[in-house]
Amino acid sequence: MTEVRLARTGGAVLLVAEDGGRPVGSAVLHPAARDPAVRSALPGVPELATLTVEPAEQRRGHGTALIRAAARAAAYDGRAALAVAVGDDNPDAARLYLRLGFRETGQRSADTRYLVLDLRRR
């Protein structure tokens, strides 16, 4: 069973997924999108970034647990949505986010597309 621990570091939140007390993945929840154009298009929307899961631990629910914990943290902070940047070279991640309810925003930055999750519908 995945347990996610959160630690606030300045304006960001560090999320660490653990399995049996052993770290297996992590992510950072930024208070706003890091790309200025996206931040302008999605004002007040935090961004989930650098989500990683140890290769041997992938496809075991740890990434999903990190995403859901980030969504809960953003909703707890009164945010209406959560954004994520997905590289064009990472279709597996894009499928996971879309399966979890994220939708396309039409915002792009170089070889990255932005997806957003409406937290009010959860």
pLDDT digits (tens, 9 = 90+) for 9-28: 788 999 999 999 999 999 99
With cut-offs at 50, 70 and 90, classify the pLDDT of residue 114: very high
Query: From CA 92, how far away is CA 94, in angstroms rounded?
Result: 5
pLDDT digits (tens, 9 = 90+) for 40-61: 999 999 999 999 999 999 999 9
CATH homologous superfamily, domain 2-121: Gcn5-related N-acetyltransferase (GNAT) (3.40.630.30)
Pick from 29, 33, 57: which is nearest to 44 by CA? 33
C-alpha distances out from residue 115 to 17, 100, 103, 110, Å: 22, 11, 5, 15
Domain ranges of the chain: 2-121
pLDDT at 71: 97
How large is the average pLDDT for residues 24-41?
94
With cut-offs at 50, 70 and 90, classify the pLDDT of residue 122: low
Mean pLDDT for the chain overall:
93
